[in-house]
Amino acid sequence: MPRSTAPVAGQHQDVSAGRDAPVDGHVMVRQARPPGRSRLWSALSVIVATIGLGPTGLRAADASIDALRHQLAVGAPLNTTLSYLQAGNPTAPRLILVHGTPGSASGWSDYLTNPPPGTDVVALDRPGFGDSGPEGAVTSLEAQAAAVYALFPTDGRRVVLLGHSLGGPIVARVAADHPDRVAAVVLLAASLDPGLEEINPMQWVGTWAAVRWALPRAIRNANAELIALKPELESLARLLPKITAPVLIVHGTKDDLVPVANVPFMQAGLTGARCVKTELLEGQNHFLPWNSTGVVRQAIAWALGTPC
């Protein structure tokens, strides 16, 4: 079973060129323009894009995106209504895009208004965000994964999953819970290593009642998810070997929100995967769905093809 593990001399499938490229280790490293953003500005940027004030949000407000919106009532463990966007060919292989925290389905607008060829693209507002219920945070990865699974085709088609940031552990949980239904997984700037999770003291201030209810819902629920994340990732770590689908890890080397140090943890834990490929984007930050769209689309093409 070909895998990317500890750095040793070898080959890696270059998903951008469709050929084997010699590299130092089983990791493909791309050169990218350094992001040049501070940690604070990076965090503020993702919040601005999420609530619709930045370019991504402006595109998401377009009527063409609103026309793609659907709702689905789901039962236990959520017992709420999910909102999702769907585009492409409804009979083609399904690609489900899962956003991080905070976030919403509209953050994937570029991939919905111009779907990858031959795909049925679904992007959901995760529980607690966008137009999905409930009002409060759903901090359980198992429950979040159940929301994603609710959007699987009823005809039994297998699904390609792509998760960005906190969406990464969620799609990993789906793939572990339903290995027979998942064709491939793309972990994009994903946060899976519980040992790297730290809580800033200011996050506890955000839990005070007077402060919590003054915060926008997306920020309030994101804070709750991040505070609860470490034990959730510890539980997920025990399930990673259950993932049998091919996995592609894509991460920026200058990601200051989810450190690239997550990558070795993922490589070591995915022992049951058919293959594990890694692509590091040299000098790139956390915002890969928006600043590395070409790489993301090539990753999707790899996952939809015959990965290994």
Indicate yes or no: pTM above 0.75.
yes
- In angstroms, the Cα distances linking 283 to 111, 256, 297 are 24, 11, 19
The pLDDT-based confidence of 307 (bands split at 50, 70, 90) is confident
What distance in Å separates the CA atoms of residue 123 and residue 111, rounded to the nearest whole number?
A: 9
Q: Which of 17-26, 101-110, 151-160 has the lowest mean pLDDT?
A: 17-26
Region 30-304: CATH code = 3.40.50.1820
Q: Which residue has the tokens 């209810």?
A: 213
Give the pLDDT confidence score for residue 138 in this predicted structure: 96
What distance in Å separates the CA atoms of residue 58 and residue 163, rounded to the nearest whole number?
A: 22
Q: Taking 80 as the threshold, does the pLDDT of residue 7 lie above it? A: no
Amino acid at 250: V
Phi-psi region of 130 (alpha: psi -120 to 50; beta: other; left: phi over 0): left
Give the pLDDT confidence score for residue 205 in this predicted structure: 78
Strands 80-88 and 10-14: unpaired
Give the pLDDT confidence score for residue 122 in this predicted structure: 98
Alpha helices in the chain (DSSP H): 39-50, 55-60, 63-66, 109-113, 141-149, 167-177, 201-205, 209-212, 217-237, 262-269, 288-291, 293-304
pLDDT tens-digit map of 36-52: 333 333 444 444 444 33
**Cβ count near 19 (within 10 Å):** 9
Percent of the chain whose predicted confidence (pLDDT) is above 70: 80
